[in-house]
């Protein structure tokens, strides 16, 4: 989970390397190919389907519609060939509502596992993994929802050694004071922040109640409504001033206050709390032993599948006539892998999820998550290399902190390999794409204000603002974030693979990068947080190819 904290401190970690995993057998590859390759003669997309792509801006075309989308509507109006196979896209996330009405027929099923018999039929180490696996649970069906931050875990480990009079290694001795400051000072900061936000919520409620009486106003949800108040006395003028001041302190005004309080509460009670350890009680594994794989369960939905469901919906949701929402392609099967809690995901869960996806036939892995520290980056890198060896593409969201990712030390996982001792080398993962978020405008507001960026760190952009998608329990909503931009690219890559199943991952990445339509703006506003002032910077400094990937251009290569 990307985090915004009072203290932005980067810590060098000791990385341990453990070799694990096995290659897929030729027999399983053949069996899966028989199951998933489809006889789709005559299943050519007709112009009648184009109406399904008119409900969302990101399907539009810059030249035809004046909207800087991916040109999906234009693509489907001209597509004249049938896909050759279904593509498996692994979604490593918080969980996916596999029962959503718009994901019917779009969820991967393990062809080698017999449901409900309590036996690991395919001998892959996971019992009854019918639709994927949940690395945040136990065999009793219990699930972990929240977890601490990496800095807190390392601090707690060193603190325990000190309390037990155990000898510290060089790294632990050098970094304990720094880690202690990060954890304790941030926890104190968010405790104060929680109190402050609670006071704001109470004050706003009181002021709005008074405005009903004094000004006849109700249900304020726009700043303009506050600005329109015409004070008849000093008291109402004071209320107006205080409401405007509070509104400007939060993203999305008053609606953002409760979310901000929930986040502050999380940081106090969980994120920066050294005593919080539900992981050991629920999951029960050794989270730093990458050979300890016997944990989790087959509940790929989990207690809160909101984030993962929206990601899956952007890729593959069926057209919904009422909401006008749909995923970008129907030529996919979603493989849900639950590994991302509220808090910092464990490197072990991420690495094992990647290996699971590869071993069970995924063609593409979508990673719509990230964090500021990676304690075991070499282990995650080893899993990414394993994916590359098996011709599996990895798409990663650049993050939503409005920060420059240059240097490869501030957002994980990433494309950069380590040279040793936490030093980033020039080598990069050849199967890895980093995606930033764009708006519908090809002007100075081209890049989403929240998107991370970087001239060599981010490859290109995809739409990521106010995208309609699905939510759990057959609900729908508008979502924003690089977490949404990444699956748009995953869907486009899957659609291309469905028509060109023999292309190598290296060639696929080359084609994806070549399919970018560059923005025409020489300068754009630098992404900033709410408390920063933005300024114009060269567009070329924001990504390797500062533009939006285009579906028509992808297929015309």
Per-residue model confidence (pLDDT) at position 421: 57
The span from the CA of 477 to the CA of 324, in Å, is: 11
Per-residue model confidence (pLDDT) at position 496: 97
Structural contact between residues 110 and 133, judged by C-beta atoms closer than 8 angstroms: no
Per-residue model confidence (pLDDT) at position 426: 62
**Domain spans of the chain, in order of start:** 84-146+291-555, 150-268
The span from the CA of 102 to the CA of 99, in Å, is: 8
Using alpha carbons only, how large is the chain's radius of gyration in Å? 24
Q: Confidence band (pLDDT; 50, 70, 90) for 8?
A: very low
Residues in the chain: 557
- Within 10 Å of residue 288's Cβ, how many Cβ atoms? 16
Residue found by looking up tokens 């790294």 in the block: 171
194 DSSP 8-state letter:
H
Nearest to 104 by CA among 318, 366, 310: 318
Structural contact between residues 434 and 512, judged by C-beta atoms closer than 8 angstroms: no
Nearest to 250 by CA among 200, 177, 319: 200
Q: How far is CA 161 from CA 149, 156, 238, in A?
A: 19, 9, 55
The span from the CA of 85 to the CA of 91, in Å, is: 19
389 DSSP 8-state letter:
H
Per-residue model confidence (pLDDT) at position 42: 30
pLDDT tens digit sequence for 322-372: 877 899 999 999 999 999 999 999 999 999 999 999 999 999 999 999 999
pLDDT tens digit sequence for 458-479: 999 999 999 999 999 999 999 9
Burial class (CB in 10 A: 0-12, 13-18, 19+), 48: exposed
Nearest to 336 by CA among 140, 130, 522, 539: 130
Nearest to 469 by CA among 309, 321, 259, 303: 309
CATH (residue range 84-146+291-555): 3.40.50.200
The span from the CA of 491 to the CA of 434, in Å, is: 15
3-state SS track over 308-342: HHHHHHHHHCCCECCCCECCCCCCEEEEEEECCCE
Per-residue model confidence (pLDDT) at position 213: 84
Structure tokens at 456: 């060599």
Across the chain, mean pLDDT equals: 88
Span 180-196, mean pLDDT? 98
Per-residue model confidence (pLDDT) at position 407: 85
Span 16-28, mean pLDDT? 35
DSSP letters, 100-154, are -GGGTT-B---TT--TTSSS-TT-SS-TT-SS-EETTB-TTS-B--B---HHHHH
Q: 547-549 and 536-538 as β-strands: parallel, antiparallel, unpaired?
A: unpaired
Residue found by looking up tokens 């984030």 in the block: 307
Count H helices and E strands in the chain, helices first: 15, 15
3-class SS at 396?
strand
Per-residue pLDDT at 41 exceeds 50: no
pLDDT tens digit sequence for 212-268: 888 777 778 889 999 999 898 999 999 999 999 999 888 778 888 999 999 999 999
Structural contact between residues 341 and 516, judged by C-beta atoms closer than 8 angstroms: no
Nearest to 460 by CA among 553, 351, 324, 335: 553
Half-sphere exposure of 360 (CA within 13 A, CB side): 31
Lowest mean pLDDT among 190-199, 214-223, 489-498: 214-223
Nearest to 504 by CA among 418, 393, 422, 377: 393
Q: Higher confidence at residue 45 or residue 471? A: 471
Lowest mean pLDDT among 103-117, 437-451, 525-539: 525-539
Nearest to 299 by CA among 288, 283, 280: 283
Beta bridge mates, 325: 320
The span from the CA of 418 to the CA of 379, in Å, is: 11
Per-residue model confidence (pLDDT) at position 475: 95
Per-residue pLDDT at 7 exceeds 70: no
Structural contact between residues 402 and 527, judged by C-beta atoms closer than 8 angstroms: yes
The span from the CA of 102 to the CA of 314, in Å, is: 11
Q: Confidence band (pLDDT; 50, 70, 90) for 425?
A: low
Q: How far is CA 515 from CA 82, 368, 468, 496, 547, in A?
A: 21, 21, 24, 12, 10
Helix axes 377-389, 347-359, angle to 10 degrees: 10
The span from the CA of 467 to the CA of 324, in Å, is: 11
Per-residue model confidence (pLDDT) at position 321: 72
479 DSSP 8-state letter:
E
Half-sphere exposure of 541 (CA within 13 A, CB side): 11
Residue found by looking up tokens 């053949």 in the block: 30
Lowest mean pLDDT among 92-101, 346-355, 401-410: 401-410
Span 436-450, mean pLDDT? 96
Per-residue pLDDT at 288 exceeds 70: yes
């Amino acid at each position: 989970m990307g985090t915004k904290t009072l203290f932005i401190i980067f810590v060098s970690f000791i990385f341990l390397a453990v070799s694990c995993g096995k290659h897929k057998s030729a027999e399983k590859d053949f069996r899966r190919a028989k199951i998933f390759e489809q006889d789709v003669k005559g299943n050519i997309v007709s112009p009648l389907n184009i109406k399904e792509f008119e409900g969302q801006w990101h399907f539009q075309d810059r030249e035809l519609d004046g909207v800087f989308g991916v040109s999906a509507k234009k693509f489907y109006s001209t597509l004249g060939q049938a896909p050759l196979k279904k593509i498996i896209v692994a979604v490593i996330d918080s969980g996916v509502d596999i029962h959503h009405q718009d994901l019917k027929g779009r969820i991967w099923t393990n062809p080698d596992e017999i449901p409900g018999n309590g036996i690991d039929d395919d001998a892959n180490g996971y019992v009854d993994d019918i639709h994927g696996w949940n690395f945040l649970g136990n065999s009793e069906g219990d699930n972990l929802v929240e977890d601490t931050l990496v800095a807190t875990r390392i601090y707690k480990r060193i603190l325990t050694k000190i309390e037990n009079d155990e000898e510290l290694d060089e790294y632990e001795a050098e970094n304990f004071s720094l880690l202690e400051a990060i954890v304790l000072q941030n926890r104190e900061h968010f405790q104060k922040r929680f109190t402050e936000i609670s006071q704001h919520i109470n004050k706003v409620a009181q002021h709005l109640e008074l405005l009903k009486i004094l000004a006849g106003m109700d249900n304020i949800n726009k700043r303009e409504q506050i600005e329109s108040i015409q004070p008849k006395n000093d008291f109402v003028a004071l209320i107006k001033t205080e409401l405007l001041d509070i509104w400007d302190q939060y993203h999305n005004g008053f609606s953002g206050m409760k979310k901000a309080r929930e986040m502050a509460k999380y940081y106090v009670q969980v994120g920066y709390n050294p005593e919080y350890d539900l992981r050991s009680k629920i999951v029960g594994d050794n989270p730093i032993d990458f050979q300890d794989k016997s944990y989790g369960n087959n509940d790929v939905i989990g207690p809160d599948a909101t984030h993962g469901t929206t990601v899956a919906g952007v890729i593959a949701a069926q057209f919904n006539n009422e909401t006008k929402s749909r995923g970008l392609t129907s030529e996919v099967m979603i493989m849900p892998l639950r590994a991302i809690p509220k808090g910092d995901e464990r490197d072990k869960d991420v690495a094992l999820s990647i290996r699971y996806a590869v071993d069970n036939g995924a063609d593409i892995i979508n990673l719509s998550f990230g964090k500021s520290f990676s304690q075991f980056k070499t282990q995650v890198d080893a899993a990414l290399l394993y994916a590359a060896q098996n011709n599996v593409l990895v798409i990663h969201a650049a993050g939503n902190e409005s920060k420059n990712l240059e240097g490869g030390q501030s957002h994980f996982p990433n494309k950069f390999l380590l040279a040793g001792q936490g030093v980033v080398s020039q080598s990069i993962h050849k199967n890895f794409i980093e995606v930033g978020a764009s708006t519908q405008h090809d002007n100075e507001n081209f890049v989403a204000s929240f998107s991370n960026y970087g001239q060599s760190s981010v490859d290109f952009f995809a739409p990521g603002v106010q995208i309609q998608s699905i939510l759990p329990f057959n609900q729908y909503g508008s979502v924003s974030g690089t977490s949404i931009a990444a699956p748009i690219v995953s869907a486009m890559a899957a659609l291309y693979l469905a028509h060109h199943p023999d292309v190598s991952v290296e060639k696929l990445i080359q084609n994806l990068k070549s399919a970018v339509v560059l923005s025409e703006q020489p300068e754009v506003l630098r992404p900033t947080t709410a408390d920063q002032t933005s300024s114009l910077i060269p567009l070329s400094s924001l990504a390797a190819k500062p533009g939006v990937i285009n579906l028509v251009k992808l297929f015309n290569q």
